[in-house]
Amino acid sequence: MRHRKHHGSLGLPTGHRRALLANMATALLTHGRIETTEAKARAVRPYVEKLITLAKRGDLHARRQALAKLRHRPIVDHLFGDVASACSDRAGGYTRMVKTGFRAGDAAPMAIIELVDGIETTVEETTEV
């Protein structure tokens, strides 16, 4: 039986979907807000919320778990430093999704997903990986 096994596959193979979510989470943590399709915004929202919860825990194991998901050390450092301290008094709901209408090319429903107010995102782009 497949009871309670459903998750949004986004029409992608597992490896592609995991890479997409990691890249979208990295972009969201870097820029503070991204515009994407509504389905992708709904998929990346719990992914980012769990990463922020890991960052609030702040121990070495949580940092390694976040690094395994994001694979980009400056973003993980920013997550555990700035974002975690900004969210320390918040019990959840670190992201906000705002529907913005439909894309002109294929009429896909679009949305903006952003980190809530009080979370500053200023990450310098580096070429180091």
Instruction: Please write down the long-range contacts of 49-56, taking CB distance under 8 Å and 24 or more positions apart.
Output: 49/92, 49/93, 49/94, 49/95, 51/25, 51/79, 52/79, 52/83, 52/84, 52/87, 52/94, 53/92, 55/79, 55/80, 55/83, 55/84, 55/87, 56/84, 56/87, 56/88
Band (3; pLDDT cuts 50, 70, 90): confident
Can you give the pLDDT at residue 7? 72
Considering the entire predicted model, what is its pTM? 0.87
Using the predicted structure, report yes or no on whether residue 124 has a pLDDT greater than 80. Answer: no
Can you give the pLDDT at residue 43? 95
Using the predicted structure, report yes or no on whether residue 128 has a pLDDT greater than 90. Answer: no
Using the predicted structure, report yes or no on whether residue 47 has a pLDDT greater than 90. Answer: yes
Band (6; pLDDT cuts 50, 70, 90): confident
What is d(CA 121, CA 89) in angstroms, rounded to the nearest whole number?
17
Q: Which two tokens stand for residue 67?
A: 């690094």
Average pLDDT of the residues in 35-46: 96
State percent of the chain over pLDDT 90: 80
Band (45; pLDDT cuts 50, 70, 90): very high
Using the predicted structure, report yes or no on whether residue 122 has a pLDDT greater than 80. Answer: no
